Amino acid sequence: MRDDPGKGGFGVVADLHEQELDSVADDDALVDDDLIDDEDATDDEDDEDDDDEDDDDEDADEDDEDEDDDEDGEADLSSLEEEGEIAADYIEGLLDIADLDGDIDMDVEGDRAVVSVVGATLDELVGEDGEVLEALQELTRLAVHRRTGVRARLMLDVGGFRARRRTELAELGRSIAEEVGRTGEPRKLRAMSPFERKIIHDAVALAGLRSESEGEEPNRRVVVFPVG
């Protein structure tokens, strides 16, 4: 990585944050729940042709469809890899400006690119409860959008924070679900980011209970309900 002098540390990142996202007041407001669970809209079904088509034509059509699906899958993977590369370049630039050391890894998980920064002195890029990390992730998504013209859903992790947080929240979700199942009383959790709420929802669902998000950002929180 390049060794530029710069101002160093979190102050530089904060300056970039203010310049590029004047509207950022809270990390929870950066992402909405729909973005986490977005699915592509399905195509309308084609009308069936008359029964006078022969079997050879039908087999050929099926082969063409399979090839199209393969090409779409390759295109999607290529697009996600491109997002990861753009994001990695952007984060590397921020690290250089802030005079911070870190190694950058890129991967694709499901339908999103994942960029991870690993280093020994990166706590200031995470912040309390991941607040700084959420802001950096949004800045990175904006940088990718400016290059590709497509809204990015990439995930940014720093120092393994999200992996550790995911484990902690999954355990919390299981514990709360057990408590609600035992007492039969709903339980409201503290306000959380969309990333955190998603993990709680998944853990509660695995326990066989129901949960919902209520309230407005930045005070949106999960409520866990007993069965029935």
Per-residue pLDDT 10s for the chain (228 aa) are 433 334 444 454 555 555 554 433 333 333 333 333 333 333 333 333 333 334 444 444 444 444 444 445 555 888 999 999 999 999 999 999 988 888 999 999 888 999 999 876 688 889 888 889 999 999 999 999 999 999 999 999 999 999 899 999 999 999 999 999 999 999 999 999 888 999 999 999 999 999 999 999 889 999 999 987
Q: What is the pLDDT of residue 119?
A: 79
What is the spatial distance between Cα 96 and Cα 154, in angstroms, rounded to a whole number? Answer: 21
Q: Are 105 and 1 in contact (CB under 8 A)?
A: no
Q: What is the pLDDT of residue 71?
A: 46
Q: What is the pLDDT of residue 128?
A: 85
Helix (H) or strand (E) holding 12: helix 10-20
User: Strand runs (DSSP E) across the chain, as ranges?
Assistant: 103-109, 112-118, 155-158, 187-191, 210-214, 221-225
Q: What is the pLDDT of residue 24?
A: 34
Q: What is the pLDDT of residue 77?
A: 87
For the chain, how many helices (H) and strands (E)? 6, 6
- Report cis status (omega within 30 of 0) of the bond before 226: no
Q: What is the pLDDT of residue 130?
A: 87
pTM reported for the whole predicted model: 0.63
